[in-house]
Amino acid sequence: MNRVYRDAWGIPHLRAGDPYELAFAQGRVTALDRAWQIEVERRRATGTSAAILGPDAVPWDRFARQARLADTAERCLHALDDDTARWVNAYVDGVNAGLPEGARRAPEFTTTEAARSEAARPEAARPEAGIAPGRWEPWTPMAIWLSHHILFAHFPAKLWREAVAERLGPEAVALFAADGPGTAGSNGWLVPADRTATGAALIAGDPHRFIEDPGFYQQIRLACPEFDVVGLAVPGVPGIAHFGHAGSVAWAITNAMADYQDLYRERLRCADGRVEALGPDGWRPCTAHVEVVEVAGEATVEVEVVETERGPVVMADARVPGEIGHGRVWEAVSLRYPPRVRRDLGFAALPALLLAKTVADVDRALDRWAEPVNVVLAADTDGGLLHRVAGTVPVRHPDNALRVVPAWEPGHEWGDRHAPMPRREIRGITVMANERGIAAPLGAEFAPPYRADRIRRLLDGSPRWSAGDMAAVHTDTLLPSAGPLLDLLAGTDGLGPEAVRLRDRLSAWDRRMDAGSTDAAAYAAVRAEVVRRLAAHPALASLAGLDAGVPEVFRPWLAPAPRVAYALESVLTTGLLPGLDRAALTELAGAALEDVAARGETSGVSWGDLHRLAPWRALPSPAISSPVDNAGSGDGAGSGDGAAPAEAGLPGDHDCVLSTSSVPGVTHHCARGPAARYVWDLARRDGSLWIVPFGASGVPGDPHRRDQHPLWLRGELVPVITDWNRLTMDPADRGAT
């Protein structure tokens, strides 16, 4: 028999007789608390989300089918060791046991907006009301994990780099070698025992992802005789993979920004009724079939699924003029990624992490980690410390990491070798923030060093730190990356009086992106205008339209304005682009100042008025969405489209430690930011702190759906409670294995 307890924030604390009962309990409570969320994730992982979400979901479903996500997950399940497979199966059994009740609690299954997706079904095939949740297969958690992380290594950036090299020259590629608009990152830091008030280590940080409602992370506690771990789980996936505290040991990760997925330019032809691909050894047969994607309220869509010896075809390309050999020939792009090649998603690491008691145990568990590649920090109560990279990176030709490589040329194949995972001895405060640090040998594009440098500077500013002090680091709003643009603006002359006042105002600005700052709003307005002008400049004109004709899933990596926005420092300081020397840039910046000043858009407007949270919701609806949480930073609901209604105003910016990212030149709204914050205290686990956007429950109307959100907006944290006497048993959630 397993038991579910709740703390004051509705966070589930699970207790069971063994790890398998506990996995069942975790699956069941997830189905009860997050039924609609995990139904959507199951459908996204299997390429069936358009059946309930409508035509906007077709591009993702097409990609999921073409990339063979579900098939890869099934292959990985069959390759699992027996104990891990049993553990995953127990979780799936729990999900299936809890879904009927979870669906009854979740109004999304029965709202008109959701039920419309069933209109195309024959009457006899429809559920009595709304949508019935689908049954989970044993491989479903693995498919969800893969769906979440398939774009983590930002392979679409290779399409961008190839286009830049062709149009602007190879030397221009380095201009844009920064984390782009489609990447996900994190902050993390470890304060060793000699720098803390308690004499035991602290680990803290915040993962940066697209903000989803309900949240991406699930606060949870998993306890049985073998282990007792609190942490942040991923709904739909068993265990606690990324951020956990087991009492005697704690761990946390950030995205390593490694490159481990390759794109191949394929030449395909139809010959004798089958599809063939040209490889180094000539024409070879492909697998090919057609799948049908159901679309709510519209006709079905056929998707051709082709796989070469390199991998699944994920993008069609221009037809090759004429014929090669015999038969019609065309070009396409295939994707090669380690889980499909090795049949391993690293799930064997998940139960091993739960069993860890020391950093040595964590280290051994992470030797089995595969996807995605992460930088890890860990500490234990015996003084053990760990700083390493974990994951699988194939050793291959250097060009594979930079661009799309020709499938028919020898030298780009994968062998059996994998890169060794770097590790470093910890000597003092250690920071991980997606910068070109410990993982530098494994990647091509990294985040600028601003966040990492600022965190180190903040932590070096005090001789002793406690868990409660960490919120000040989490919420730091200094924007060091503003320097190059401000320097450029300071050199402008010949301006009108309003533009001069704006320039001088920005020169005196403290460079903090506080929600209430009108100067921060003025800077953002000028930055956006500079980005728009740069993206439209003749020097970059050849990059216009790159995102046309490519799958929608890849377009964020190929749109010029976001790319210019995230690489603004390089564009302004390197002088690598003909026609954009210092004089031309200064003239452009002056024109931007004049335009912003003339529009009067900076008068009385704060950064929080512009920089509003725009979370992703699978099914936005007035009947489901809650009103704005006004936490004193903004004046209520802002404008936004149906997919991402804007909520409360936020402090921070992309390169702040408080990394709340907008896309300058496109929108001030924030879609990506801290998906959680945590502080793991090794002196006393109950001294640890955490917070998530929204709340522990995914059920609209539940008191814990949004009770943490005002605190998250203000940068506050709530205590981790592990004393069973301070928890309340939830009779409604009690379930037997």
Asked if 186 is an active-site residue, the reply is yes
pLDDT bucket at 242, cuts 50 / 70 / 90: very high
Cβ contact 424:385 at 8 Å: no
The pLDDT tens digits for 302-328 are 999 999 999 999 998 754 544 444 558
| Residue 468 CB-density burial (10 A; 0-12 exposed, 13-18 middle, 19+ buried) | middle
CA distances from 522 to 495, 528, 531, 627 (A): 17, 10, 14, 28
Strand (E) or helix (H) holding 104 = helix 82-105
Q: Rounded CA gap, 308 and 407, in Å?
A: 10
Residue type, 654: H
Which residues face 298 on adjacent strands? 295
Of 392, 395, 393, 394, the C-alpha closest to 349 is: 392
Q: Which of 372-381, 636-645, 698-707, 720-729 has the lowest mean pLDDT?
A: 636-645
Q: Rounded CA gap, 403 and 409, in Å?
A: 14
Interior/surface letters 160-185, b for 16+ CB within 10 angstroms, e for the rest = bbbbbeeebeeebbebbbbbbbbbbb
The pLDDT tens digits for 106-145 are 999 987 354 454 444 444 333 445 789 999 999 999 999 9
Average pLDDT rounded to a whole number, residues 39-53: 96
The CATH number of 185-256+343-394+409-473 is which of 2.40.50.100, 1.10.357.10, 3.60.20.10, 3.30.420.40?
3.60.20.10
pLDDT at 648: 85
* Rg, C-alpha atoms of the chain: 26
Backbone angles phi, psi at 563, to 5 degrees: -65, -45
262-336 classified as CATH 2.30.120.10: yes
Average pLDDT rounded to a whole number, residues 614-635: 53
The pLDDT tens digits for 659-670 are 999 999 999 999
| Statement: residue 40 has pLDDT above 80 | yes
Of 478, 565, 474, 472, the C-alpha closest to 514 is: 478
Angle (nearest 5°) at CA 62 between 59 and 68: 140
Q: Rounded CA gap, 501 and 683, in Å?
A: 53
Catalytic option among 49, 117, 186, 697: 186
Look-up of token digits 């553990």: 87
Cβ contact 391:414 at 8 Å: no
Q: Rounded CA gap, 213 and 694, in Å?
A: 7
The pLDDT tens digits for 393-403 are 999 999 999 99
| Residue 672 neighbours by CB under 8 Å, 6+ apart | 184, 208, 209, 210, 211, 659, 660, 661
Average pLDDT rounded to a whole number, residues 30-46: 97
pLDDT at 579: 85
Give me the DSSP letters along 445-458: -B--THHHHHHHHH
Query: Fold for domain 157-180+478-511+518-605?
Result: 1.10.1400
Average pLDDT rounded to a whole number, residues 6-28: 98
Which residues face 302 on adjacent strands? 292
Q: Rounded CA gap, 420 and 441, in Å?
A: 10
Coil vs helix vs strand at 208: strand
Average pLDDT rounded to a whole number, residues 320-346: 82
| Residue 297 neighbours by CB under 8 Å, 6+ apart | 54, 55, 116, 117, 119, 120
Tokens encoding 219: 């606060």
Average pLDDT, the chain: 91
The pLDDT tens digits for 505-558 are 999 999 999 999 999 999 999 999 999 999 999 999 999 988 888 999 999 999
Q: Judge whether 595 is annotated as a binding position.
A: no
Q: Rounded CA gap, 706 and 629, in Å?
A: 9
Q: Which residue did the predictor score with more confidence, 437 or 647?
A: 437
| Statement: residue 639 has pLDDT above 70 | no
CA distances from 604 to 275, 379, 607, 609 (A): 62, 47, 10, 10
Tokens encoding 141: 């958690």
For the domain 3-151, what is the CATH code?
1.10.439.10
| Statement: residue 177 has pLDDT above 80 | no
pLDDT at 129: 53
φ/ψ region of 579 (left if φ > 0, alpha if ψ in -120 to 50, else beta) reads left
Average pLDDT rounded to a whole number, residues 480-501: 96
Angle (nearest 5°) at CA 419 between 418 and 422: 145
| Statement: residue 18 has pLDDT above 60 | yes
Q: Which residue did the predictor score with more confidence, 1 or 630?
A: 1
The pLDDT tens digits for 87-97 are 999 999 999 99
Cβ contact 719:689 at 8 Å: yes
Cβ contact 185:179 at 8 Å: yes
Length of the chain: 737
Which residues face 5 on adjacent strands? 13, 729
pLDDT at 620: 56
Domain boundaries, given as residue ranges, for the chain:
3-151, 157-180+478-511+518-605, 185-256+343-394+409-473, 262-336
Cα 188 versus chain centre, distance:
15
Q: Quick one: what percent of the chain has pLDDT higher than 90? A: 82
Angle (nearest 5°) at CA 329 between 325 and 331: 130
Tokens encoding 99: 């879904």
| Residue 79 CB-density burial (10 A; 0-12 exposed, 13-18 middle, 19+ buried) | middle
User: What pTM was estimated for this model as a whole?
Assistant: 0.93
| Statement: residue 104 has pLDDT above 90 | yes
pLDDT at 623: 38
Number of Cβ within 10 Å of residue 685's Cβ equals 20
| 178: DSSP letter | B
CA distances from 125 to 50, 108, 115, 131, 278 (A): 18, 19, 13, 11, 44
pLDDT at 271: 86
Angle (nearest 5°) at CA 185 between 49 and 706: 60
Cβ contact 695:9 at 8 Å: yes
Q: Judge whether 686 is annotated as a binding position.
A: no
Q: Rounded CA gap, 691 and 716, in Å?
A: 8
